[in-house]
Structure 1
Amino acid sequence: MNPNRLEKPASQAVEEQRLTLSGVAWEQYEILRDTLDDFAGLRMTYLEGTLELFMPSREHERIKKTIARLIELYSTQKNIRLYGYGSTTYRKQAQERGLEPDECYCVGEIKEFPDFAIEVIVTSGSIDKLEVYRGLGIPEVWFWESNRLLLYHLRGEKYESINRSEFLPELDIDLLVRCANIPDQYDAVVEFRKAIS
């Protein structure tokens, strides 16, 4: 162990950081996104001239990874072809929208845009992410907030709240939430596996 590189305890870990800029042209957003692509962890959300830069906290990343592991385990256990794209950048210039989901997936086959995306909310941002997703045409969005999941499905031009995923209709959302709330990631996966086997 290098005494000059001590890790901060989780309680002292860096919190989420956000910066919101207004009046940002689409071309400026694209230049920033492309220039900062190698900046590990940096997420950007763009909506009609407003740009939010976001550095997720350790807790944010722990939660999103736990949920991802559970969903991916579910897909293999249930023999569902699921293709994960993590925090890939999705953009539509005509709609003036762009973002990186926390996690996102295509079901059945690979597509240009994911079937559903997952967003973990530890601290709120200033941009309406559902509005960004609507403009990108992402059919389903799951929000993890206050230790629960809220699911939305796009119908026409508007998202509606749903109780079950339309892409994973047999997935027990209450079970997923219960296991995602287990603090130890390994224990969460083991508990979930037992319940779905």
Structure 2
Amino acid sequence: MSTETVGYMDAIAHLPAGATLRLPCVSWEEYEELLSQLSDHPGTRVSYDARKVEIMSPLPEHEEYKDFILRLAQVISDESGITLETRGSATYRQKRLAKGAEPDTSFYVQNAARIIGQRTIDLEVDPPPDVVVEIDTTNESLSKFNIYAALGVPEIWRYDGEQAHIYQLTDQAYDEVS
């Protein structure tokens, strides 16, 4: 583990729930090393955008909202007969774009059959999720929208603690549709 990553891990260990840690000038290799080290720390969300890293530690209520939205999507899927493949807060990243993000949850609809049974997703060959879900009760996820747009995620569902917002990708930017 590099010296930089050791320092990052110490800061993350002291990150209170609901807080965000921003790290400038992080190389792609350090980002990947950080993700590897954080695999033992479920619950943190990490995003990477052109050498900038954001690490968020969600509150318990954040997880409750996420679980509710996921259950709602599953009910809609069951009732409509549409296959839904859930990927939770998987890490979606592309080195050539220098971008990566971990949504609160995500799922595949149109490409579900293609993804079912895969242990990992490689966006160099696999499609991005059809929907990512972001819960914004303590932190704004709007800064991650350009990451999702670059990765080609067609839709974002965002809950701000009071209202649900749905955004669709058009011309490398998201338009709010509800």
TM range (shorter): 0.7 to 0.9
Match of 2:82 in 1: 80
Is 1:155 aligned to residue 170 of structure 2? yes
Kindly provide the amino acid, as one letter, of the partner of residue 131 in structure 2: F
> CA RMSD of the aligned region, Å?
1.6
Sequence identity percentage: 33
1:51 deviation in Å? 0.4
Match of 2:94 in 1: 92
Return the TM-score normalized by structure 1. 0.72
Contact 2:166 2:177 in 1 (8 A): yes
Equivalences, count: 150
The one of 14, 22, 25 equivalent to 1:23 is 25
Change (3 A) 1:27 1:129: same
Match of 2:134 in 1: 119
Is 1:38 aligned to residue 36 of structure 2? no
Write out aligned runs for 1:141-180 (5 A).
Answer: 141-163=156-178
Q: d(CA) in 1 for partners of 2:141 and 2:154?
A: 22
Find the residue that maps to 2:96 and give its secondary structure. Answer: coil
Change (3 A) 1:56 1:34: same
Return the TM-score normalized by structure 2. 0.79
For structure 1, the 5+ residue unaligned runs are: 1-13, 164-197
For structure 2, the 5+ residue unaligned runs are: 1-15, 116-125
Match of 2:149 in 1: 134
Contact 1:45 1:127 in 2 (8 A): no
Q: d(CA) in 2 for partners of 1:161 and 1:127?
A: 12
Q: Which moved more, 1:70-79 or 1:105-114?
A: 105-114
1:15 deviation in Å? 3.7
Q: d(CA) in 1 for partners of 2:17 and 2:95?
A: 31
Q: d(CA) in 2 for partners of 1:65 and 1:138?
A: 21
Q: d(CA) in 2 for partners of 1:79 and 1:149?
A: 24
The one of 72, 81, 104 equivalent to 1:70 is 72
Q: d(CA) in 2 for partners of 1:154 and 1:86?
A: 20
1:96 deviation in Å? 1.1
Kindly provide the amino acid, as one letter, of the partner of residue 91 in structure 1: R
Structure whose alpha-carbon radius of gyration is higher: 1
Find the residue that maps to 1:94 and give its secondary structure. Answer: helix
Find the residue that maps to 1:124 and give its secondary structure. Answer: coil
Q: d(CA) in 2 for partners of 1:161 and 1:80?
A: 24
Contact 2:20 2:139 in 1 (8 A): no
1:27 deviation in Å? 1.1
Q: d(CA) in 1 for partners of 2:87 and 2:133?
A: 11
